[in-house]
């Protein structure tokens, strides 16, 4: 069977499904995390009524695999915004009303599992090993344009006193420049939105014959995080494209409306 293990991630196989873990985050025993692969499917808010049983079973199996409480999970109503919310003690639930219109979660509460869904957009998992704080960020192309990644760094500074140089950010599987093809209108939005990047055009490949553009959001997010103060060695890329690997990854670009959603999960263990 095809395996996505590489220098930065390890593919783990369980009796239920397979999933990815970052080698770097596995260095911290007080942390748990995973990026789910097929056949696990956590669905979306719009498919919740149809897929609730499948999604809840997936979450139950994720909890079992991560050896955490099924009631520890909190999942926001993602809308491709740049809104980030802090999760406090006892704030839990799948699509709770208080997490409407939310695409990023931060917390320092042990026993909390932050879960977001992805089907080509970029998962950004943050960990501050000094302040013992985490973030789970959904950065689609709109979120990337809104710089939700750098806003997460700022939010962790404000909420937990995090120092950017201490933060680790792991970039999960997402649609990469080989498949992120856009028209001129979206290209212009990126060109204007990142006009402060001295070498922005190096993040774009143009197909002049078709007047299409291929944008490297991986490189853009990496540069954004570097400018926010993260050390280059603390920005770790999964190096997995969801479209190239759509046999294992859910991909909206590859599967359209039939696509499910991968879960990105990160949490802090309760002390024993």
pLDDT tens per residue across span 23-79: 999 999 999 999 999 999 999 999 998 989 999 999 999 999 999 999 999 999 999
Query: Is the whole-model pTM more than 0.85?
Result: yes
Whether 77 is in a domain gets the answer yes
Whether 191 is in a domain gets the answer no
Domain count, the chain: 1
Confidence of residue 1 (pLDDT cuts 50, 70, 90): low
Whether 226 is in a domain gets the answer no
Q: Is the pLDDT of residue 178 over 80?
A: yes
| Alpha-carbon distances, residue 175 vs 2, 73, 119, 272 (angstroms) | 19, 26, 9, 39
pLDDT score of 198: 86
Which residue has 């740049």 as its token pair? 82
Confidence of residue 2 (pLDDT cuts 50, 70, 90): confident
Whether 185 is in a domain gets the answer no
pLDDT score of 257: 87
Residues of the domain holding 53:
9-176+231-268
pLDDT, tens digit, 9 for 90 and up, residues 68-106: 999 999 999 999 999 999 999 999 999 999 999 999 999
Whether 166 is in a domain gets the answer yes
Please report, for the chain, how many H helices and E strands are present, in that order: 6, 16
CATH code at position 32:
3.60.140.10
pLDDT, tens digit, 9 for 90 and up, residues 148-167: 999 999 999 999 999 999 99
Nearest to 147 by CA among 93, 254, 226: 226
Q: Is the pLDDT of residue 272 over 80?
A: no
| Opening angle at CA 263, ends 48 and 116, nearest 5 | 75
Whether 79 is in a domain gets the answer yes
Nearest to 172 by CA among 106, 241, 109: 241
Helices (H), the chain: 48-66, 141-145, 148-160, 184-193, 217-227, 252-255
Give me the mean pLDDT over the 104-123 stretch.
98
The HSE-up count of residue 155 (CA atoms within 13 Å, CB side) is 24
Whether 215 is in a domain gets the answer no
Query: What percentage of the chain has pLDDT greater than the value 90?
Result: 95
User: Is the separation of the CB atoms in 193 and 200 below 8 Å?
Assistant: no
Strands 133-139 and 122-128: antiparallel
pLDDT, tens digit, 9 for 90 and up, residues 205-237: 999 999 999 999 999 999 999 999 999 999 999
pLDDT score of 217: 98
Whether 204 is in a domain gets the answer no
Mean pLDDT of the chain: 96
Give me the mean pLDDT over the 245-249 stretch.
97
Q: Residue 115: CB partners within 8 Å, gap ≥ 6?
A: 42, 59, 62, 73, 74, 75, 136, 263, 264, 265
Confidence of residue 271 (pLDDT cuts 50, 70, 90): confident
Q: Is the pLDDT of residue 128 over 90?
A: yes
């Amino acid at each position: 069977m095809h395996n996505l293990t590489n220098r930065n991630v390890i593919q783990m196989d369980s009796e239920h499904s397979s999933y990815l873990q970052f080698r770097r985050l596995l260095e911290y025993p007080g942390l748990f995390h995973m990026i789910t692969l097929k056949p696990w499917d956590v669905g979306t808010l719009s498919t919740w009524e149809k897929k609730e049983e499948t999604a809840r079973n997936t979450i139950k199996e994720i909890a079992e695999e991560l050896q955490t409480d099924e009631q520890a999970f909190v999942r926001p109503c993602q809308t491709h915004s740049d809104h980030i919310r802090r999760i406090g003690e006892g704030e839990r639930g799948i699509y709770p009303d208080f997490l409407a219109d939310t695409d990023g979660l931060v917390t320092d509460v042990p026993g909390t599992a932050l879960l977001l869904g992805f089907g080509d957009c970029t998962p950004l998992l943050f960990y501050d090993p000094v302040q013992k704080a985490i973030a789970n960020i959904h950065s689609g192309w709109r979120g990337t344009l809104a710089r939700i990644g750098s806003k997460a760094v700022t939010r962790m500074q404000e909420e937990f006193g995090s120092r950017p140089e201490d933060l680790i950010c792991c970039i999960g599987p997402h649609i990469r420049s080989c498949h992120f093809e856009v028209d001129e209108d979206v290209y212009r939005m990126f060109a204007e939105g990142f006009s402060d990047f001295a070498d922005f055009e190096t993040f774009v490949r143009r197909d002049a014959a078709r007047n299409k553009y291929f944008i490297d959001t991986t490189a853009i997010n990496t540069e954004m995080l570097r400018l926010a103060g993260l050390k280059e060695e603390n920005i770790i890329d999964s190096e997995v494209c969801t479209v190239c690997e759509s046999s294992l990854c859910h991909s909206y670009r590859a599967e359209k409306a039939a696509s499910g959603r991968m879960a990105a999960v990160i949490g802090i263990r309760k002390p024993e």
